[in-house]
Amino acid sequence: MRYEIKGGNFPVVICHLESGERMITEKGSMVWMSPNMEMQTHGGGLGKMFSRAFSGESMFQNTYTARGGPGMIAFGSSFPGVIKAVTIAPGQEMILQKNAFLASEAGVELSIHFNRKLGAGLFGGEGFILQRLSGSGTAFVEIDGELVEYELKPGQKIVVDTGNVAGFTPGVEMDIQQVPGMKNMLLGGEGLFHTVLTGPGRVWLQTMPIPNVAGAIRPYIPTGNNK
């Protein structure tokens, strides 16, 4: 499989497949393809279906296979941002925010990941249940806004605003800390909690989380009571 990522704020990844090669995606991600791409919808068993639903994805996935020769298929982002290609292999897994998975080669496995610290899931904004990419192959991930990467050393920490965590490698621990001071919590505009990521491992941060954008434009959306 060869790929190219094109576009600006609404990017697409165009995948060029040899005959028989397959791509897996969530429903609604395909934007165009060659006529010889064959689609099959599957759930992969009840356990996997509920696992994907809990991690924020559709219970069903679509598999696209190039038949009778080389094929081409493009997958589009659902929100302004970037598409990031990541190589998944044994020992090189990735943990992601909900709804980050866009598409992957057939050898990549999408599953549920439980945050070991309940407080981080209840108050941290990223959720108790995340996505885990394992197996082998190339996967494509949606990032809200721009992507900033950090490599944390053992014990090194970074404090992140709620929702700005896009993903991290399994060696990173995610926890929360309360914003110090009652005045800071009530008047600072930063919420009640921050997410704390502790190394070792790689961290992906996103600059424009969807909930933040929704909150910013909500006051300007007319309601039914407005005349």
pLDDT of residue 51: 53
Cα gap 3→46, rounded to integer Å = 32
User: Long-range contacts for 154-160 (Cβ within 8 Å, ≥24 apart)?
Assistant: 154/199, 154/200, 155/198, 155/199, 155/200, 156/198, 156/199, 156/200, 157/196, 157/197, 157/198, 157/199, 158/196, 158/197, 158/203, 159/194, 159/195, 159/196, 160/194, 160/195, 160/196, 160/197, 160/205
> Is residue 130 situated within a structural domain?
yes
Domain that holds residue 170: 2-219
> Is residue 226 situated within a structural domain?
no
> Is residue 156 situated within a structural domain?
yes
| Candidate from 53-67, 99-113, 114-128, 132-146 with smallest mean pLDDT | 114-128
pLDDT per residue as tens digits for the range 161-210:
878 999 999 999 988 877 655 444 444 445 567 889 999 999 999 998 77
Query: What's the CATH code of the domain at 24?
Result: 3.60.160.10
Cα gap 221→219, rounded to integer Å = 6
Taking the whole predicted model, whether its pTM rises above 0.85 is answered as no
> Is residue 225 situated within a structural domain?
no
> Is residue 227 situated within a structural domain?
no
The mean pLDDT of 14-33, rounded to a whole number, is: 93
> Is residue 147 situated within a structural domain?
yes
> Is residue 196 situated within a structural domain?
yes
> Is residue 186 situated within a structural domain?
yes
The DSSP bridge pattern shows strands 81-88 and 137-144 to be antiparallel
pLDDT per residue as tens digits for the range 93-106:
999 988 889 999 99
Instruction: Report the domain count for the chain.
Output: 1
